[in-house]
Amino acid sequence: MLRLFGLLAFAGSVLSQAALPYTDPENGINFWGFTDVVHNVTWGYVFPPLATSGPNPNEYIGEVVVPVVNQWIGFALSGSMIDSLLVAAWPNNGKIVVSTRYATSNVLPDVYPGPTITTLPSTTINSTHWKWVFRCQNCTSWLGGSIDVTSPSNIPAWCVSTIPVDDPADPGTSMVQHTDYGFYFFDFSSAHVTAAQYNNWAAGGTGPGSGGPTTTTTKTTTTSTAPPTATASPYDYIIVGGGPGGIITADRISQAGKSVLLLERGGPSTWETGGRYQPPWAQGKANLTKFDVPGLFESMFTDPDSFWWCTDINVFAGCLLGGGGAVNGALYWLPSDQDFSTNNGWPQEWTNHQPYTAMLKARLPPTDAPSTDGKRYLEQTSTVVSQLLAPQGYQNVTINDNPDSKDRIMGYAAYDFIGGQRGGPVATYLQTALGRKNFKLQLYTNVLNVVRNGSQITGVTTNDTSVAGGFYPLNPNGRVILSGGTYGSARVLFRSGIGPTDMLNLVKNDPVAGPNMPPSSQWINLPVGYNVSDNPSINLVFTHPSINDYDNWADVFTDPPAADVSQYLANRSGILAQASPRLNFWSALGASDGETIWMQGTARPGAASWNTSYAFNQTQMFTITAYLSYGVKSRGRIGINAALVGTPLVNPWFVNPLDKSTLITGLQNIVSTMGQVPGLEMITPDNKTTIPAYVNAYDPATMDSNHWVGSNIIGTTAGQAVVDVNTKVFGTNNLFVVDASIIPALPYGNPHGQVMSMAEQAAAKILALAGGP
């Protein structure tokens, strides 16, 4: 299911980068802060002393030291882009222009009055850097939010942009989305100084002040506890990552009697797994979390507390139990023969997928009527879109009844929801695994690298401080399986000395990860990160008088319609029992080179963004997202940056111009019969913009469909592939990858159905491979 990459909310979880105390040598101020190693921007803050009684002071002193390539910077001490106080600044004519903003949704934030920000005299602008030192008063709380200056664990967000704001003289200027952003860990409770020091600096003074040493800096600079000596027990199989790939593999391998340790970096998701993040309307009434209720899918992207996204990956990735499968739209397509064909890059050994797809279907049958009463709700969008498509020859079908038929067919959206709740592998495969004594699931454990001696893996290094060296060993002949996702598994490989040399050198230069790498004589050069694909997708936004856009899903987490809540709580039926998509369709498009590229459409009530100069009725809005799927020609590259953050290096959309021209044709086909649907209006693009002009101007960063595959591509030849036909990493004896990253090319539909069938087959191949435990 598509979401806009450009709209990624700031989010929070525990990070390796932390603010530490430092003294700026130029102004003598004792800040706590950190320097981002990619952009070399320093972010520093210091708070006045806590109040001895009554409310704490509502201010702080901050500084940013910014290389001049950056045109503007911004930060949010609360770590969320939504419902947060955002401060942006940039130099203009020798002065710093400051802008405070606030956003309730993922759009250009509005100017927000309230804070009093004073630029302090040690601010400088020279040929290489601009340094802004400032006092921010009335800055610790704002409409709908605050920071807790006594809290030891906070995750501030930062962003930078190399693209200037539209009007640098105007604090209220518009600007395009930042070009990069990130997070770090900050112990606010330690970053306080004496009143004398603070007042001196706040008044523009410099130097150590007259108040003596800072009050508290001992907290994180000393560790009195002895290093742990406990040794972790060895396992036959260590599986890294509890997403769809990892869970299914862990279940099948533990079912075969092997001892299995499943390590997941995130925390629980659904109630059944221990998750407790409940919508207010369920609290005290039902054991339901945000991750259980299908209708809350759209709210994943608009929540100020979106702790479930990985904060060290620059595209949407789920960092919690279930991975992407715990937060996705759950659109579920049984894979077709074509999806696993040699034509789509699979080795011959993989083409007989049917037994594995049948096993998957038996555990997790798809449904296109997820409400437990069997009725369909909020179906106006499917009615209107089927009226639009029927004159183009589309047949109305049950999509999963015939996975190989994907030309001019349409049908109700299908999901892996169960009993009106999120089902997927967490509710099925994981539960059987948890019932076995030889299976252990461990949450909040981040695998940093595999430990290897040449080609032999001996275990994994984690951030678990309760065992010596964070080390989890394998039994003799044991195996490690990486299932960290397209970005997560690639990073573990880089940190283990496996991948292209440029990526491995970034790891080597990292002060923490570098020393854990094997020597360069043992590096294994494989095309990790190359060959990735993700569906290029373009949104068309329409209105029709029959549509109910469900308030664009805006209040669905906090305050949905009372009747829908009571129906869902009583019976798990109604609108909340389904995610937003209502209709899906496919057609085969001829590319001008004579080959065929398939287009998928997903229609849903509401819209993420729109752009029209005409007035329109928002409550009648719906979106058709059109993606290129099977046969898409473009490939990109993903990797890490110097901060070891997972990131696209070459975007995989429209690299090959035939993809763009083919999708333009597909979009023109979609709208070609608009005249046959009375009352249907397209508002984005509106009638002032043609489809080609719209596609040509489309921001590539918003073409992301979150369907990344291919960074550890499967194949028969080491130079062209990362894993062999048994999913074993070339050049190793006992390291495997089973997740979306091994998929060589996109399937017809949203990919997690194929990921799950692939994991069934991979588990069988790994168990059958000689030499294991």
The yes or no reply on residue 530 touching ligand NAG (CB under 6 A) is yes
**Interaction of residue 400 with ligand FAD, rule CB under 6 A:** no
Query: How many binding residues for ligand FAD (CB under 6 A)?
Result: 41
Determine the interface stretch with ligand NAG among 127-135, 215-223, 232-240, 244-252 (rule: CB under 6 A): 127-135
Q: Which residues contact 582 (CB under 8 A, 6 or more apart)?
A: 378, 379, 381, 382, 385, 412, 413, 603, 604, 605
Q: Which is nearer to ligand FAD, 140 or 381 (CB)?
A: 381
Instruction: Show the tokens assigned to 70.
Output: 């950056």
| Centroid of chain to Cα 492 | 17
DSSP β-ladder status, 456-462 and 471-482: antiparallel
> Which x/- pattern, by CB under 6 A, does the window 474-503 give for ligand FAD?
---------xxx--x---x-----------
Stretch that binds ligand NAG, among 427-435, 524-532, 596-604, 731-739 (CB under 6 A): 524-532
Burial of 501 (0-12, 13-18, 19+ CB in 10 A): exposed
Distance of closest approach, residue 131 Cβ to ligand FAD, in angstroms: 36
Q: Does residue 319 touch ligand FAD according to CB under 6 A?
A: yes
Assess 463 for contact with ligand NAG (CB under 6 A): yes
Which residue in the set 48, 294, 318, 370 belongs to the binding site for ligand FAD (CB under 6 A)?
A: 318
SS3 of residue 201 by DSSP: helix
Chain Cα centroid distance, residue 657:
27
What minimum distance in Å lies between the beta carbon of 688 and ligand NAG? 5
Any contact of residue 121 with ligand NAG (CB under 6 A)?
Answer: no
* Contact predicate 506/644, CB 8 Å: yes
Q: In what order do the strands lie in the sheet with 395-396?
A: 395-396, 409-412, 583-590, 596-605, 621-628, 537-543, 681-684
Cβ 243 to ligand NAG, closest distance in Å?
14
Report the nearest approach of ligand FAD to the CB of residue 640 (Å).
12
Answer for which of 139, 202, 317, 504 binds ligand FAD (CB under 6 A) is 317
Is 572 one of the binding residues for ligand FAD (CB under 6 A)? Answer: no
Q: Is 672 in the site for ligand NAG (CB under 6 A)?
A: no
Using rule CB under 6 A, residue 324 touches ligand FAD: yes
Q: How far is the CB of 543 from ligand NAG (least distance, A)?
A: 9
> What number of other Cβ atoms are within 10 A of residue 93's Cβ?
8
Q: How far is the CB of 679 from ligand FAD (least distance, A)?
A: 29
Binding flag, residue 298, ligand FAD (CB under 6 A): no
C-alpha 653/C-alpha 201 separation (Å) is 50
Query: Contacting ligand FAD (CB under 6 A), which of 243, 527, 652, 747?
Result: 243
Min separation Cβ 761 and ligand FAD, Å? 14
Contact track, ligand FAD, 663-702, x by CB under 6 A: ----------------------------------------
Give the Cβ contact number of residue 34 at 10 Å: 21
DSSP string, 333-364: -PPPTGGGSGGGT--GGGS--HHHHHHHHHHS
What are the residues facing 136 on neighbouring strands?
60, 117
Of the candidate residues 138, 199, 475, 726, the single one contacting ligand NAG (CB under 6 A):
138
Binding window for ligand NAG (CB under 6 A); candidates: 273-281, 332-340, 501-509, 523-531 = 523-531
Q: Is 378 left (phi over 0), alpha (psi -120 to 50) or beta?
A: left
By DSSP bridging, strand 621-628 and strand 537-543 are: antiparallel
Residue 714 binds ligand FAD, judged by CB under 6 A: no
Q: Does 323 bind ligand FAD (CB under 6 A)?
A: yes
Q: Examine residue 629 and tell whether it contacts ligand FAD (CB under 6 A).
A: no
Q: Does 307 bind ligand NAG (CB under 6 A)?
A: no
CA-to-CA dists, residue 406 to 249, 397, 402, 409, 758, angstroms: 29, 10, 8, 6, 20
From ligand FAD, ligand NAG, none, interface partner of 492 (C-beta below 5 to 8 A by class)? ligand FAD
Q: CA torsion, points 26, 31, 37, 39, in degrees to nearest 10?
A: -70
* CA pair distance 629, 338, nearest whole angstrom: 12
Distance from C-alpha of 507 to C-alpha of 530, rounded to nearest angstrom: 18
Can you tell me the distance from the alpha carbon of 1 to that of 749, in angstroms, rounded to the nearest whole number? Answer: 10
Residue 755 sits in the site that holds ligand FAD (CB under 6 A): yes
- Alpha-helical regions (H) of 590-645: none
Residue 566 interacts with ligand NAG (CB under 6 A): yes or no: yes
SS3 for 360-420, per residue? Answer: HHHHCCCECCCCCCCCCCCCHHHHHHHHHHHHHCCEECCHHHCCCCCCCEEEECCECEECC
Residue 566 interface partner, choices ligand FAD, ligand NAG, none, CB cut-off 5-8 Å depending on type: ligand NAG
261 bridge partner residues: 238, 440
* Interface with ligand FAD, residue 639, by CB under 6 A: no
Binding ligand FAD (rule: CB under 6 A), the pick from 64, 96, 331, 430 is 331
- Residues in CB range of 108: below 8 A, 6 or more apart: 174, 175
454 binds, options ligand FAD, ligand NAG, none, Cβ within 5 to 8 A by partner type: ligand NAG
Q: Are 527 and 721 spatial neighbours (Cβ–Cβ below 8 Å)?
A: yes
Residue 115's φ and ψ, nearest 5 degrees, are -65, 150
* 685 within 8 A of 514, measured Cβ to Cβ: no
Among 200, 381, 461, 706, binds ligand FAD (CB under 6 A): 706
Taking CB under 6 A as the rule, does residue 688 contact ligand NAG? yes
Angle at 536 between CA 535 and CA 539, to 5 degrees: 115
Residues 369-388 that bind ligand NAG (CB under 6 A): 382, 386
263 binds ligand FAD (CB under 6 A): yes
> What is the smallest separation between the CB atom of 723 and ligand NAG, expressed in angstroms?
12
* The entry of ligand NAG, ligand FAD, none that residue 444 binds, CB within 5 to 8 Å by partner kind: ligand NAG
**Smallest gap, in angstroms, from Cβ of residue 493 to ligand NAG?**
15
Q: Which stretch binds ligand FAD (CB under 6 A): 95-103, 141-149, 529-537, 752-760?
A: 752-760
Examine residue 143 and tell whether it contacts ligand NAG (CB under 6 A): yes
Q: Using the rule CB under 6 A, is 229 a contact of ligand NAG?
A: no
Q: Restricting to residues 345-374, name those near ligand NAG by CB under 6 A.
A: 345
8, 29, 65, 457: residue in contact with ligand NAG (rule CB under 6 A)? 65
Out of 3, 101, 131, 633, the only residue in the binding site for ligand NAG (CB under 6 A) is 131
Tell me the C-alpha to C-alpha distance, in Å, between residue 463 and each of 72, 225, 480: 34, 16, 17
The pair of structure tokens assigned to 418 is: 């169960």
Q: 479 or 572: whose CB is closer to ligand NAG? A: 572
Distance CA 34, CA 548 (A): 47
State yes or no: is 707 an active-site residue: yes
Alpha-carbon dihedral angle through residues 552, 556, 557, 560, given to the nearest 10 degrees: 150
Question: Least Å distance between CB 746 and ligand NAG?
Answer: 13
Interface residues with ligand NAG (CB under 6 A) are 13-14, 26, 39-40, 65, 67, 114, 124, 126-129, 131, 138, 142-143, 265, 286-287, 345, 382, 386, 396, 444, 446, 453-454, 463-465, 527, 530-531, 545, 566-567, 570-571, 583, 611, 614, 617, 619-620, 681, 687-689, 713, 720
Active site members: 707
Interface residues with ligand FAD (CB under 6 A) are 1, 3, 240-246, 263-266, 316-319, 323-325, 327-331, 446-447, 483-485, 488, 492, 706-707, 739-740, 750-753, 755
